[in-house]
Chain A
């Protein structure tokens, strides 16, 4: 009895409470600005209650994160293949019986709740890569390891790409690359791949591509990759978002006071989800926006610190992979809202409204906590 109490006590004390605090700040910020972005629309009866729904999803995610933190992550590492196969099955299922929203089949209707299997697949891929790359069976520097990693990534990547969900699919690539790098893949292999991938797609899609391609060509490539994309919609969103962020100034216009947001020039359907960052940047200015980035940077630091102190290579890679997902989402989301990257439709972790995404983000957080609890005791 005493022993059990002791182990429970250690479980609680060994948590990364700083990371918990950072995540709580992000969740609170998210809820505030979801409220700011949706209260007008709700009052006019145009949108449902994003705010209330978000509270429920955050609560569900927190329960899941707590459970995952308590369970030894090595259990998930052992069952990684099953998780991965289940994820592939769900991704295939969504193409057959998925619910169509905005012209894309991304959602499964589970008793009236729309669930995105691609969110589960992201986490499942990271867990499996942690097992395969950290299991010691493969020589980390060999080209074979690299090929296996890329192959494992390619299956969910293609299934998500045909939904179509370009944004989520694209996140898998750098996340896998980060994990391969952390696992010790040879520089020349990674560099070669990076040259191939970034050189081709990156040049065409990034603003650098504007030197080579006209806006229309640029748009056409994106529309080709993602047929549900609407040039007028994304063009409008991109410009209004830049105006919202820019007009926020240093101090911002004040909470609930952003004219872009309140008057609906940032369309009310996307402002609580993919475009929550401009809402914050308009109302809280440079101070608020950079503070938010700072919190994300701190959280990433905690994740990577957990990766450093992890008890085994698989745990380390797991934390690195989750950190990679978090980083990609934040970078691409903020980048697109401030005109650095094309509009691809990725939400901002912990902050944006969205059920499946909130749950997967918090599940990743729980997995990192589980690694952290079972860390090596080590002095710096």
Chain B
């Protein structure tokens, strides 16, 4: 800077100072580089060979699922694994040499533990490429013998370690399988919080177990745990922990307590005794789902961590469809169990009073068509309460035609039919309440009186789910409150924060006059407790049960295939249990469903309430479905 600056605003010495400081900083970097690469270079090269960085997974524990009394329905158990920390196997030069070294260790480990080789070179290469920082889990779920053999020889296998990971178990086996669902490894391309970034697969965590169906799926956000991890520097061959570098704490999931009672659930499943069907038990006071059973079922333990192809194919191809949840996803004609709705609608419109009598000659003539009562010789002149007791079709035809189809359809919708109940389960079906608009749209025809007659006795196009039937039975039991089914009762976070889930009413419930519902309930009581009642096989000694049977023909007319139903509630005066039970291809509601409801209620009162009711033998299985060639008139 020999000469005077022509532009005084440029501060030469300040620029010079800036330059010198920058050079000094670079000098500092170079000094550090010299230290690292030259002064300690051999130390780092030695480290590369001897010391390694282990990225250890700290598994997150998925929330457990309990029944209402704390009986575990879904739990976790430890699974002992042998994992390889690939950093400790690396070789200079092409990566194939590292892969070979890992494979060699795997062969020796397989021999030591007497276990088949779990991985091929391709798996090792993929792991090396995609998620080098993560340990490679070679064997999972080792038994005590294999673990002992490994521990004995652990010193011979640097870079291999015993690790523990949680595995989901369902202690109740196939009980409540449809409701609980199962878990599987979350899709590997979609990691939690990852969005659609393809680079995320390089991250330092494996996807967590995710619910694949049932409560496990619907409450996955609550149950799901997040894995943590720690980085530690290992120094010697025995894996002596030297230094922990960084750590991310795992986040355990929240525990869920269901409203379900495992004892009632088991009784419900036993009541179906190998038949295809469904049972739902609801507490009429709260809407708690005490049991939700569908048969046949499966063992969700087979699905963890992934379902073997053979089991999956067998389940998929089974004509009885064990994977299908009949309780909330099955749509069936309700048959005579629907009759209380028709009668309540008729009472409500004023078209029929409790003392209105109609005469039943065994059939009902509508124009040229003749609608039969199941009792060929007729019921004579009866009132409304007796119409329920005997399940007389002819009385219902008269009542429905007097009230008009709109009143019946409106009340059916108010009772929750034709829409989903909103239970936290996938594949719930809404059912169908047919009306004029539906018939015009689907059948290109207008609504006729014959349709009204079919609707009045729960036949025709009407479809309901067993879950809807149980909630409707609960509404009959409690005098008109339609509940939203409460599956989960309580969520307790790992930190101990409890979140009670309140009982909730369905958006639109029925509005019944107290006198009307009293008449209908009395009819249902008589149906069970009178010797000539249609549901007499559900009578208990010691508890008054009220019920309505149903037998709905389906399939080709005259094929004799029937859905057999019973809806019931007990005790009559202060109902604590409302039941809907369905058996596919039974004989009739009275002979197939009623004894099963009796068995279920007996066990419920004995096991849950400690009553000493006489035990009920398991009901006989209904005979095989008759051929379509042999049509037969059956009670409705």
Contact = CB atoms under 8 A, between A and B. Distances in A.
Given A178-B18, A235-B246, A281 B203 contact: no
A293 B22 CA distance: 11
A236 B205 CA distance: 13
A41 B129 contact: yes
A281 B37 contact: yes
Most buried by A among B3, B17, B37, B132: B37
Given A100-B195, A269-B202, A308-B15, A262 B95 contact: yes
Contacts of B1: 380
A264 B26 contact: no
B55 A380 contact: no
B45 interface: yes
B14 interface: yes
Interface in A251-267: 253, 257, 259-260, 262-265, 267
Contact of B6 (A47, A232, A376): A376
Contacts of A372: none
Interface string B1-28: 1110011011110110111001101101
A219 B247 CA distance: 10
A323 B80 CA distance: 57
A327 B195 CA distance: 35
B404 interface: no
B609 interface: no
Contacts of B73: none
Interface centre among B26, B30, B32, B128 (most CB of A within 10 A): B26
A316 B94 CA distance: 51
B33 A286 contact: yes
B87 to A, nearest CB: 6
B306 interface: no
A103 B33 CA distance: 32
Interface residues of A, number: 80
A335 B7 CA distance: 37
Given A335-B29, A340-B28, 16 more contacts: A46-B129, A233-B204, A242-B44, A245-B33, A246-B37, A246-B40, A247-B47, A259-B93, A263-B95, A263-B132, A269-B202, A293-B29, A297-B26, A304-B18, A316-B15, A338-B33
A365 interface: no
A144 interface: no
A189 interface: no
Interface hub of A46, A184, A311, A330 (most chain B Cβ within 10 A): A46
A239 interface: yes
Contacts of B33: 245, 281, 286, 289-290, 293, 338
A248 B43 CA distance: 11
Contacts of A136: 9
Nearest to A235: B246
A354 interface: no
Most buried by B among A242, A248, A264: A264
B133 interface: yes
Contacts of B199: 47, 101-102, 269
A215 B244 CA distance: 10
Contacts of A285: 37
B36 A246 contact: yes
B43 A246 contact: yes
A257 B95 CA distance: 10
Given A246-B41, A247-B45, A307-B15, A240 B53 contact: yes
A177 to B, nearest CB: 10
Contact of B11 (A102, A184, A219, A260): A184
A200 interface: no
Interface in B426-485: none
A297 B27 CA distance: 10
